[in-house]
Structures are given as C-alpha cells and as structure tokens.
Amino acid sequence: MTRLLRAPVALAAPALLAVIVALVPLVYLLDTSLQRGLQSVVSEIFLSQTATLVARSLALTVVVTLACAIVGTINAWFVVRSSVPLRALWLMLLSMPLAIPSYLSAFAWITWIPSFNGFFGAALVLTLASYPYVMLPVAAMLRNADPQLEDVARSLGVGVFGALMRVTLRQIAPAIWAGSLLVALYVVSDFGAVAVMRIETFTWVIYGAYRAGFDPTRAATLSLVLIAIALLLVVVERRVRGRTAQRVGAGTARVSIQRSPLSVALPALLVVVGSVGFGVGVPVVSSITWMRNGSAINWSEVWSTIGASFGVGALTGGATVLLALPVGILIARFKGRLTDFTEGAVYVTHSLPGIVVALSVVYFGISFARPLYQQIPLLVFGQMIIFLPLVVGSVRTSIEQSRTVYEDVSRSLGTSRMNTIFRITIPLAMPGIAAGGALAVLGAVKELPTTLILRPTGLDTLATSIWKYSSVSDFGAIGPYAVALMLLAALPTAILSTVTVLKVVR
Amino acid sequence: MSALELRGVSHSFEDTPVLHEIGFSVSPGTITALLGPSGVGKTTLLRIICGFETPQRGIVTINDRIVARDGESLVAPEHRGVGLVPQEGALFPHLTVAENIAFGLQRRRSSITRQRVQQMLQLVDLAESADRRPHELSGGMQQRVALARALAPNPAIVLLDEPFASLDAALRVTVRTEIVDALRRSGATALWVTHDQQEALSCADEVVVLLDRRIAQHGAPVDLYRSPLTRSVAEFVGEAVRVRGVANGTHASSALGELSLTQPLHGEVTVIVRPEQIELDDTQNPQSPQGRVIATRFYGHDGEIDVRLHNGEVVVARLHARLLPTVGSDIALRVIGQALAFA
C-alpha cells in the first residue's frame, strides 16, 4: 500500500525552503558566467584549452574509477570470502582511507617520492583514497549473495575461477557499478590531491582562475561544465542503484559461506596489504615522522586550530541537521509532486563539487550578502550546502527503517501530525540523525576548498593549516595538524564502518 | 445508539476494488469480530475507521458523529477517539511502559494521568512493569500494554488488528483470554479483526464475516455456525462436510441418508453437516448409510476419519479418540441434528 498523503504545510514549507536555499547560489554562478554574454560562455566552453581540461579530468576519472573497481572488489572478496582471521579488523583497516583527506595523503606521497607528482601521483592517491566506496557496498552484497549458486555452477562442471567470474561477479556487479560511480563523482570533485600533485583538472583550474581574480566568468563557466559532468554521474548512479538485483526465491541464504584458504587468496592478500600499507600507512607514518622531526611545535596554535575546526564543524553540523530534518522526513514519509521536487533538488546538490559551491556562495555573497562575505555565516552556509545531501540521506534512511504503524497509533491516540513527528518520528530516527550530524561535523573539519575560499581572514582550521604549511613545504609544522586530523577522523570512520562491518562479518 | 456504524462503505485502490457496500454497526460495550481470510480488505477497513484512508463512498459514524462521508474525511484521525492495537502491539520503543500508556493522555505529568496509568496497568495486570522498556517484555505482555495504551484515553471504540498473529499457538490462547478479560472488565467497545474463526467464535459477541470484499453475514457466533446464510460462510466458519442431495421440502435424501434440513428447500442441493454431527451407528439398522474407512487421524483428545460412502463421496467424521476404527473397516454412520442445504 503506497502512502499517498499530502504533507502538512508546517513540514513542507521548511523542506522546500531548505532545498531552495541550497540551490540559490547556483543562480549567482550562472549570472556570473553570463556577465559577458552567452557568446563568451559558448566560446569559453569550446576553447581548445577547455577540451584538454575535459580530456585530462575524464582520463583521471576513468583510470581511478577502474582501479578502484578492481582494488575495491578484491579487498571486499578477501574480507568476506577468504579464511583470514580477524575479519572485522581487516575491514576496519581497509575502510580507514575514508578518514584521511586526499590532500594529506598526496602531500605524504610527494614528500616521500617527489617524482610522483602529476597524473600518476594523483591517480595513485585518489585510488588509495576512494576504493572503500566500492569495497563497502560490494562486501555487503557478497555477504548476502547466495553462496549456493557457486556450488551449483561447480556441480555443472565449471571451475573455481570460472564460477567466481561467471556467477559471483555477476551477482555483485550492481554494487561494483554503484560504488564506481560514487568514486567517479568523488574524483571529479576532488580538489586536494590534484592541487598538491599540480595536475590541471577542473577543480584546480577553477581555483586558479578564481585566485587570479581578473576573470570571474572563466571560473564560473568552467564550474558549470563541471556541474554538468557531475550531474550526469549522479543521474547514472541513481539509475544503476535502482536496478540493484535481489535474490530470487525464498530460500534462506544463511548457508555458511565457503571461505577460500589463504594459500588461494594470496594474490588478493597482496592487494589488501598494499591498500592498507600505501593508503593508510604512508600518510600515517609520514605525519608521525614530520611531527617527531619538527622543531618546537606551537601547541597553543595547534589547540586553537582544533578548537576553530570543531567550532565551525559544530555550527555546520547543527545547521545542516536543522535544514535536513524536514527534507528527510518529507522524502521518507510523504509522496507527491512537492516531494519529487525536493528529492530532485537534493540530488542536484549531491553532485556539486566543493569548489563550485564555494564559488557560487562567493558570487552570491558579493551581489547579495556583502556584509557576510568572508564571515563565519557564509562559510557555514557553503559547507551546509555540501553536506546537506549526506545528512538528508542519513535522516531519510533511518526514518524509512522505522515502521509507520507507530505514527498511526500516535495519531489514533489524539496526537496531530506535526506533534507525531516530534514525539515519534524524530525520536525513533535519532540514531540516524545523530550519525548524519557527526558526518557533517567530520566533513566540515576535513573540507578544504570551501574553507579556503569562504573563511574569514585569519581563521585557520586543521584543513587550511595543513594546506598552508604544505604549500611552503614546512613539514615540521604540518605534523601535529595531520596527526590531530587523522585521529579525530578515524574515530567516526571506525564507528560508521562498523555498521557495515557488523553486517558483513558474521 | 452505536459506538461505530458503517453504511455503504466502498473503496478501491487505483482500479482494484477492495471493499464493496460494507455496512454494520457495533453497540457500546460489546466485542465484534471482523472475520475474513487474509487479503480480503480487513486492514483497509480498519484504516478507514481510524481515518488513515478515506472511503470513496459511504458513511462512517463514530459515537453518532459522522467522521467520513463519500470520499471526504470530516474528522482527523487524532480527533476520532479510536484506540488502535496493531499487529505485534507496536509499542513505542523509545518510551517505557508507563510512558507508552500515558502517550494519549492530556497533561502527561499531572496526578490524574498518573492515576489513570496505574489503573490501566492494573487492568492488564502489569503494575510491576511500569518502568520497563518494550523490548524487555514478552510478546503477550507487549500486547497487554498496547491494549492499555489504547484504552487509557477512554476511546469510543478499540480496534484490534490481528493482535495475536505473531504469537505462537500455545501462548495465543492465554493472551487472548487475558485481553478479552481486560476488555470486558473495562466495559470497552471493541472491533476485533481476525482471520482465525476459532478466535472470532470464542471471543466475540457478534461476528461480521467479510468474504470477497463484502459482508457475507453478521450475527452471533452460534447463529453463524448453526445457520450460515450462504455456502461460503458455512465452509469458512467451521469445518464443513459436503454431499450431494435432493431436497423435498423439510428433508433431503443423500448418501448420508434422509436428513432433516434447517430450512425448507426443493431440488438438487449441496448438503452440509459438521464433522462432529456424524457418528458411528452400531444399531445394525439396514437403512443406515454404509462406508469404508480410508484414513484416520489421531489428535489425542479426539480424532477424525475419512469415510468413502457407497456412491464414492468422501465424508469426514470427528469421533472420540477411543472410538477410532482402523483403516479399511466397513462401518455404518448416522447424522445427529439438522443439516444445512444450499441450492
């Protein structure tokens, strides 16, 4: 039975307002790019430089996505299907790159092997940073895949490897696709790794054009092209996820999984060790080395930076949760054109790279909210737009998981629709709401391009401090900030990946 | 006056009709069972009464106030005074037992509320569990709390939606008895949705049978069992033994002999008797119908036999366990009481 209920105005109005607020800066981006007329936008897009830029960005995206699909799938297979002991710990370790910002990782690599800069270095760093986006969904799907299908294939005369390729791989293909598209989206949006590796992809060139200052239309126009690419990826990702295949038949899949002995899994083990060693080991060891070799650390500055990071993070987290709540509730519980529009708008924001949001907010601030320009509210506003889809997703999932019958009972006991939302819907979804808030705080602490562009002069967060010292190659000074950032980010990453881990490792 | 009244309620989802011309009423202080097989629209009817669906046609009246009419909801669910006890209870997991019960009460921190909660806890015999969380309770206890929560605001009517479907068979009877006791003691009016005919017959004052989207019969349990209006009601409520027959007014002749009918009828009919109406006949009467036992089922307290009659028809008889004949034996039967016949 579908619930074709009209949303109460008290819910619909703030939800609509939230997504409109999130999309308004885009109007200013469009306006800025059109300052010299449509003709100049078109000629900018068809410039040969732009074509080279598109080609380079797409090449990087394709290479990293392919590599992540392979590495992520192998790692997932190893954790779920090999007989390695301490499975949970492996999965946790393999998820840890999610806690390490790409700019930090890139900087660790480039100080270790300076010749790594450029395309190859960026591809390596981005692969090591984003394979978990493939690994986590594939691991979950592998765990739920019917192991008996492989047995059936074997009994029909297909070898171990053949069964793996012809049966198992087909079963987990949707998860590989969905994860890969997320990786692609992440790569086109990434700013840190390409900036440190000095490779001219969209984000880095947009930043350069913006910093050069004399030509805002170029930065804005390139941003529009980038949005188009990202939007395409999001649309395809959504399509693919919709087709995620489920098992046929009611047979229970709780047949114990046959796990390959380590001797068979040895090649996979090499990939796993490489992922952890290069993806986690290199940045962690480098950061610790920097810290130990660094001369006198200015601890008061470190502490005040941590404070500032979390101050901004808490503001962002709080604001994003407030904005995401009505949106998530609307999407999860009500149907209709308004809901469709809201959901679509959230997907658009999901595709926006940080650098594009930052520029949009700058143009919005210059023309509309000048007193707030380079003030905390505008910084929080920009970060809020970036993390809105993440928090909406978290809120929405947890609401969809709680049964509607609780709300029905509450209504029948004399509680109005809005009161039911406050007394039942929100308390039941609290874990998801809190997790969403935590994700936003963590994201804001790590977020580089938005903070760089929108922060008040003189405000340093962990991300901008690492950026500042890395651009002058002051290793000693980076150490404490890098260690602090990774320590702080590791905890929530561990907790969040535990959710998947618990599903996978049983 | 009636606590609940439905008149001509029809509803469909998109192009699939789910309810057709439903009309019945529930008197205050009584328990009515809404009995029907799964998927017959019982839950939809319940949602219509609660106000979560609006019927496309017809009128819903609660305590003589019209709450919905012809596709229009006139009273919101929260103002209808309907207490809902859903499947599995659906206790709010984030609240304690006492907080669950107090949920629907005004001014939740007042002493009146505390008294009412105490009263409800005693009603369902859970006074010691006030501060426990729903997940700490057994399935049966959760159902009792759900009932207390529904009764606390003194609703016009309590709706129970297959309340015991999730409990295992042994527990079900116990919990059912406790719930009916509590309902009786509180004097509440209840509409009880179930697909279990035994549950409906044993607990309710009146039973509404819903078959094929419409009301097939509405009456006291005894009448429903003894005088079903249609063949489908006869077969759905209780077990039915069917044989072909020819009726000539008050009697019908069949492979089970000359049977007295509950209602006069003429011509070819289907005759229905209950398995417990068929007995072994040891009077050596040559007129008695003869048959051969083709299967026996031993249930402990009693048992059943399948008997193939001389014309090939097979009937089921329920016998005391010690009377069960062996498979293959030839026996004589007789039918006690009147038989039902349908054209």
- Is A411 in contact with B103 (Cβ distance < 8 A)? no
Show residues of chain B in contact with A425, CB under 8 Å. none
Please count the helices (runs of H) and the strands (runs of E) in chain A.
26, 0
| Amino acid identity for residue A433 in this structure | I
Chain A touched by B14 (CB under 8 Å): no
Report the chain A residue with the minimal C-alpha distance to residue B101.
Answer: A413
Show residues of chain B in contact with A413, CB under 8 Å. 78, 83-84, 103-104, 149-150, 153
Q: How far is A412 from chain B (nearest CA, A)?
A: 5
Chain A touched by B90 (CB under 8 Å): yes
- Whole-number Å distance between alpha carbons of A344 and A329: 15
Q: How far is B153 from chain A (nearest CA, A)?
A: 7
For residue A106, give the nearest of A207, A206, A192 by alpha carbon: A192
- Whole-number Å distance between alpha carbons of A392 and A349: 11
- Is A412 in contact with B82 (Cβ distance < 8 A)? yes
- Whole-number Å distance between alpha carbons of A191 and A178: 22
Chain A touched by B104 (CB under 8 Å): yes
- Whole-number Å distance between alpha carbons of B121 and B8: 39
Paired with B218 in beta bridges are B208
The residue written with tokens 């629209």 in the block is: B41
Mind listing the pLDDT tens digit for each residue in B89-125? 889 988 999 999 999 888 878 899 999 999 999 999 9
Residues 67-86 of B with CB under 8 A from A: 76-84, 86
Given A408, A414, A427, which is nearest B153 (Cβ)? A414
The contact set of A with B (CB < 8 A) is: 1, 403, 405-406, 408-417, 423-424, 427-428, 430
Per-residue pLDDT at A436? 86
Given B51, B76, B86, which is nearest A409 (Cβ)? B86
- Whole-number Å distance between alpha carbons of A146 and A167: 10
Q: What mean pLDDT is predicted for residues B210-228?
A: 92
Chain A touched by B49 (CB under 8 Å): no
Q: Could you tell me if A355 and A395 are in contact, meaning their C-beta atoms sit under 8 angstroms apart?
A: no
- Whole-number Å distance between alpha carbons of A82 and A37: 60
Report the chain B residue with the minimal C-alpha distance to residue A423.
Answer: B103
Per-residue pLDDT at A243? 56
Per-residue pLDDT at A252? 43
Per-residue pLDDT at A313? 92
Per-residue pLDDT at A1? 35
Per-residue pLDDT at A5? 58
**Per-residue pLDDT tens listing for chain A (506 residues):** 334 456 788 888 899 888 888 888 888 888 888 887 788 788 877 887 888 888 999 999 999 999 999 999 999 989 888 888 888 888 888 988 988 889 999 989 988 888 888 899 999 999 999 999 899 888 888 877 776 677 777 777 677 777 777 778 888 888 888 889 889 988 988 998 998 888 888 888 888 888 887 677 888 888 888 888 888 888 887 777 655 544 444 444 444 566 777 777 788 889 999 999 999 999 999 888 888 876 677 888 889 999 999 899 999 999 999 999 999 999 888 878 888 888 888 878 877 888 888 888 888 888 877 777 778 889 999 999 999 988 898 888 888 888 889 999 999 999 998 999 999 999 998 888 888 888 888 888 888 989 998 999 888 999 999 988 888 877 778 888 998 888 888 877 776 666 665 655 54
Q: Indicate whether this model's pTM tops 0.90.
A: no
Which alpha helices (DSSP H) does B51-168 contain, by range?
A: 97-102, 111-123, 139-151
Q: What mean pLDDT is predicted for residues B326-338?
A: 91
Per-residue pLDDT at A258? 65
Between A375 and B233, whose confidence is greater?
B233
Size of interface A-B (CB pairs under 8 A): 64
Q: What is the ipTM of this complex?
A: 0.80
Per-residue pLDDT at A504? 55
The residue written with tokens 């229009």 in the block is: B72
The residue written with tokens 């308390």 in the block is: A427
| Amino acid identity for residue A395 in this structure | V
Q: How far is A16 from chain B (nearest CA, A)?
A: 25
Q: What DSSP letter does each residue of B168-211 carry, written as one string?
A: -HHHHHHHHHHHHHHHHHHT--EEEEES-HHHHHHH-SEEEEEE
pLDDT at B175 over 80: yes
Given A412, A414, A415, which is nearest B50 (Cβ)? A412
Mind listing the pLDDT tens digit for each residue in B254-283? 999 899 998 899 999 999 999 999 999 888
Per-residue pLDDT at A500? 61
Chain A touched by B39 (CB under 8 Å): no
pLDDT mean across residues, chain B = 91
Given B44, B51, B153, which is nearest A413 (Cβ)? B153
- As a three-state string, the secondary structure of A402-413 is CCCHHHHHHHHC
Q: What single DSSP character describes residue B293?
A: E
Q: What single DSSP character describes residue B50?
A: H
